[in-house]
Structure 1
Amino acid sequence: MKEEGGEVLYRCGTLTYTRLGLLNLFIWLLWGDFCFSMMETVSPSLTPLLLKMHNASNLTIGILMGSIPALLNFIINPIVSTRSDRTRSRWGRRIPYLLFTPPFTALFLILLGWSDQIGAFFYNLLWGDGGSPATFTICLIAFFVICYQGFDLFVGSVFYYIFADVVPQQFIGRFMSLFRIAGTLGGMCFNLLVMPYAKTHMSVIFTVVALIYVLSFTGMCLNVKEGEYPPPPPVKPGLKAMVAGYFRDCFSVPFFSILFVGLAFNYVSTVCRNMFNLLFALNDLGLTTAQFGRVGAVGGIVGVALYLPMGYLVDRFHPLRIYLAGALLVIFVNPFGFFFVHGYGTFMAMGILLAVVYTVQNSSLLPLCVKLYPKEQFGQFCSAAAMVKALLLVAANAAGGWFIDLFGYRWLYVWDFLFTIPCFVLLLWIYFRWKKLGGDEGYQPPLRP
């Protein structure tokens, strides 16, 4: 922070902001995230329901909604992330990837919403009336999901990196709290205003949300400016040398390898809840989609209330400590859900408890990465973490679907409990190692020699 001519200026790299400029930056990034989060809520929430309407198994849902997207993430994320780190253009190094792929994401999201009608039309065209297009429609849904996920990964791989490039470091914790609030509000609006119509107006929901997303995200990209970057470090010629250098940079230091695995286990812990919580509420508890939406909306209100104070706590006590506290709370809360959730009231109570503990954890995740990863290779190290996460999720999503087929939807609480424990243990090791590397005052990323 610096004063020039009586005006307070904030700096991030070569970028300089007045208070008004910083406010403008926050507004556009938060608006983009609000619409991005609403769009990202649609497919995970409604596609399992769409598949169940065609009698798809939970294993099939796990593979289509989790394993295949995770495999795509494993392939696409490191390429896009590393390429983004090295991109130099008049738009910056992140904006080109955020600006040009959302139209394709929106297109396939719309097609996914109309897959029932498209599937019936082509089935009747090819095989005539009288049969059941269920299998053909499931294959069509799978194709649209894969295309949607593939294009969405370009944005998902890069969007979070831009914060480290344009937001002044002293505001990163508070910005991330506002960012989480915006995302929570997007999900809350979807749950409260849209979810009640999930079964009756599914095609319209997919279409409207996709159009809102592409228009708002384009506006954000045109109004957020990146600064100047130093030239990227030279790389050895040849694909083999580039890949070897990538893996040496990211995986030769145990500190980062263990951190990647610990964070990945946290994502593994939530796969069953992400895919089957709606089906648990509808099929086991007898809730309506409107009641489920209200539970999500109340959880969103709790998150909104907590994210801003959590931002101050993250800045004050360091995100690693807050993340560990969140993981410990997740472990303690899940047994309550398994034993005591039997109706709307207890499901609501559990939704509020989960909103609290995941707000604690989510408010610290990206600040943790910003604090611990090397700044000049931030995208590269994020992509390495995403690769580890994707490898585990390829197996975990299919295994989660099989697990639920075997034991039932209630056991999603057991899954979360079991896989959060290794996350906590590994991150606890990271915490003690971080202390030895300088901790709050002197930490420097332990790069390879």
Structure 2
Amino acid sequence: MGLPVLCVLLLIGDLGWSLRERSVQELFKVHLLGFSQDATLLNVLIGAMPALLSLTLGPLIGAWSDRTRTRYGRRIPFVFGTAVVTTIGMTGMIFSTSLTGLAVSWTVFEMATIVGNPLFLALINDTVPRHILGRFFGLFRIVSLATGAGFFALFFRNGLVAVFQPLLAAIAAVYMACMLLVCLKVREPPYAAPPPRSGWRLVQAGDKQWGRLFAAVAVGAIAVLPININGINACAQFGVDAGSFGRAIALTYAISILLAWPVGWLADRFHPLRVGAVTLTLYTVCMLASWQLVHGRTGFLVALIVHGVLAGCYLTGTVSLLPALLPRERFLQLAAVSASVTALLVLVSAVGLGALLDAAGRDYRLLYLVGAATAGCGVLLWRGLLKRYL
């Protein structure tokens, strides 16, 4: 019964983790609109600034955790610490009354989540048997998507600003309770002693073999960011209110719930590389079509749902890619290097996209063109990985 109990505990942690992931950024965007509608500021705070933090903090914490040996394990002490700081950041946002205070609290929140997210995934990688990782992450996504669907269906309304403080406080409490349960009840396996330290280096001899993999993962990740970051701000251009936006996102998550387990099975059966390449190809085609066809409210909502479903399939189908290919003894450090490559591209693309939108008079149809072009580049990289690894 150990494996089912472990999975239940990790999925409870996923509940709190997903509630934070699916809701806090959207609440922050809505709250930020009360202070500024500048597209560059939004893309810096949501895209560039977190990327910069990930670039500097992620590999250091990853290498530290890989080498840590405590009575509680090598992941759980870090998971607990980042959960506490994340909750502090959310609390700061609740009581922020100025743009500066909101931005500082958001920075603290993002700093902790950027460090904490790969730690939680590394805990899963260390405790869940590798041959069922794809299906476990399918369940992981189902919990995540159901949480997001519930949030958007129940709470994302036109009067969201009025309930911002109590809603964020409730989210912070649930998140901290779930992560505390994981930290108290999950037991990590015994680890071999770390190899002798001969001077810490971010990149070691032989790591260049992973460069193409990290580049492909990064391009695939940033392909979906233009709409993820700017979707709420685009609503005004297409005559969409907050309630309609929330219902569309909830429907997206409901569809993705039905697809999560089959996509996880496909990843286990045919490999995450194949699933990622196919999904990115479909995303490229659909975003090009959206760029040509979307002009009003209905088209925008349909394109939003298509974007969300395909982005969800990509994430579900490829979340087990790095655990499948990277050596387990250095997993978190190498995964952090991969995240740093992604962060560098996000940093450049987010600032550039914000400037492009402001220069184009905030014509948000450009989001589809940028997403299609980035996904098209990703398809070429993923096809190269198929030839290399499979």
TM-score normalised per structure 1: 0.83
1:356 pairs with 2:309: yes
- Verify the 8 A CA contact 2:15 2:178 in the aligned structure 1: no
Match of 1:190 among 141, 151, 157: 151
Q: Where in structure 2 are the equivalents of 1:197-236 lying within 5 Å?
A: 197-236=159-198
Per the alignment, residue 142 of structure 1 pairs with: 103
Distance 2:101 2:309 in 1: 38
| CA apart distance, 1:112 | 1.1
Distance (whole Å) between structure 1 residues aligned to residue 308 and residue 226 of structure 2: 16
Q: Describe the SS at the equivalent of 1:232.
A: coil
1:392 paired to 2:373: no
- Which is further off, 426-435 or 332-341? 332-341
Query: Is the 1:44–1:274 Cα contact (8 Å) retained in structure 2?
Result: no
Q: Does 1:168 align with 2:138?
A: no
Matched with 2:274 is: 321
Determine which of 90, 94, 113 is the counterpart of 1:113.
94
CA contact (8 A) 2:72 2:188 kept: yes
The answer to whether 1:181 aligns with 2:142 is: yes
The residue number in structure 2 matching 1:412 is 367
Aligned to 2:19: 38
Do the aligned residues in 1 keep the contact of 2:253 with 2:309 (CA within 8 Å)? no
The alpha-carbon distance between structure 1 residues 31 and 340, as it changes in their structure 2 partners (threshold 3 A), is farther
What SS class does the counterpart of residue 320 from structure 2 fall into?
helix
> What residue in structure 2 maps to residue 252 of structure 1?
208
**Contact kept? 1:110, 1:203, Cα under 8 Å:** no
Distance 2:24 2:94 in 1: 9
Q: What is the RMSD of the two structures over their aligned residues, measured on CA atoms? A: 1.6
> 1 CA distance for matches of 2:87 and 2:74?
23
Is 1:274 aligned to 2:228, yes or no?
A: yes
**Does the 8 Å CA contact 1:108/1:148 hold for their aligned counterparts?**
yes
How many angstroms does 1:344 deviate by?
Answer: 4.3
Confirm or deny: 8 A CA contact 1:373 1:381 kept in the other structure.
yes
Residue identity opposite 2:171 in structure 1:
V
How much has 1:331 moved relative to structure 2?
Answer: 0.4
Point out the more displaced range, 185-194 or 36-45. Answer: 36-45
| Equivalent residues of 2:79, 2:120 under 8 A apart | yes
C-alpha distance in 1 between matches for 2:258 and 2:369:
28
Consecutive unaligned residues in structure 2, runs of 5 or more: none
Residue from 62, 65, 78 that aligns with 1:84: 65
The alpha carbon displacement at 1:152 in A equals 2.0
Structure 1 stretch displaced more, 163-172 or 43-52: 43-52
- In the TM superposition, what are the counterparts of 1:365-380 in structure 2 within 5 Å? 365-380=318-333
Residue 99, structure 1, aligned to residue 80, structure 2 = yes
**1:72-129 alpha-carbon deviations (Å, 9 max, x no partner):** 111110011111111111111111111122122112112213312xxxxxxxxxxxxx
1:271 and 1:400 in contact (8 A); partners too: no
Question: What corresponds to 2:378 in structure 1?
Answer: 423
CA deviation after TM superposition for structure 1 residue 249, in Å: 4.3
- AA aligned to 1:178 is L
Matches within 5 A, 1:67-82: 67-82=48-63
| Higher radius of gyration, 1 or 2 | 1
- Identity score, percent: 27
Of stretches 37-46 and 287-296 in structure 1, the one that deviates more from structure 2 is: 37-46
Q: Distance in 1 between matches of 2:25 and 2:357?
A: 17
Amino acid at match of 1:28: L
Work out the CA distance in 2 between the residues paired with 1:362 and 1:76: 23
User: C-alpha separation between the residues in 2 aligned to 1:349 and 1:86?
Assistant: 47
* Structure 1, gaps ≥5 residues long: 1-19, 117-136, 436-449
Question: Does residue 335 of the first structure (1) align with residue 288 of the second (2)?
Answer: yes
Contact 1:44/1:275 (CA < 8 Å) preserved in 2? no
Report the AA paired with residue 71 of structure 2.
R
- Counterpart in the other structure of 1:289: 242
Deviation at 1:338, TM superposition (A): 2.2
Bigger relative contact order, structure 1 or 2 (CA pairs below 8 A, ≥6 apart): 2
Give yes or no for the alignment of 1:242 onto 2:196: no
Q: How many residues are aligned here?
A: 387
